[in-house]
Structure 1
Amino acid sequence: MSDASNPQADPATKPTRRTVLAIGAVAASTVITVRPALAQTAGSVLNCEIPVPAPQAAGSYIAQDGSLVPAGTAGAFPPPPRPITGEEAKALLRGGPTPAGIDSQSAQAYANYIRRLQAGMSGFTCYASLQMPR
Structure 2
Amino acid sequence: MPPRSVPDDAMPSVAEDDGNGVTSRRALMLGALGASTVVAIRPALAQTAGSVLTCEIPIPDQARAGSYIALDGSTVPARTLFSFAPPSRPYTGEEVRRALQGGMLPNTNYFSNQAYLNYIRRLQRGQGGFTCYASIQMPGG
The match for 1:47 is 54
Deviation sequence 1:37-85 (CA, Å, 0-9, x none) = 1111111123211110111211111111111111112221110000111
Moved over 4 A (4+): none
Alpha-carbon separation, structure 1, partners of 2:88 and 2:133: 19
In structure 1, list runs of 5 or more residues that go unmatched: 1-9
Give the superposed CA RMSD. 2.2
1:112 pairs with 2:128: no
Alignment coverage as a number of residue pairs: 122
The match for 2:130 is 124
Alpha-carbon separation, structure 2, partners of 1:70 and 1:60: 5
1:62 pairs with 2:69: yes
1:37 pairs, out of 11, 36, 44, with: 44
Alpha-carbon separation, structure 1, partners of 2:117 and 2:93: 12
Cα distance, 1:14–1:91 mapped onto 2, change above 3 Å: closer
Contact map agreement 1:64 1:109 (CA 8 A) in 2? yes
Alpha-carbon separation, structure 1, partners of 2:26 and 2:79: 71
Bigger shift: residues 62-71 or 27-36: 27-36
Which secondary structure does the structure 2 equivalent of 1:62 belong to?
A: strand
TM-score normalised by L of structure 1: 0.78
TM-score normalised by L of structure 2: 0.74
Which secondary structure does the structure 1 equivalent of 2:94 belong to?
A: helix
Contact map agreement 2:104 2:113 (CA 8 A) in 1? no
The match for 1:133 is 139
Deviation sequence 1:80-122 (CA, Å, 0-9, x none) = 00011111111222221332x2333211110011111112211
Q: Percent identity?
A: 60
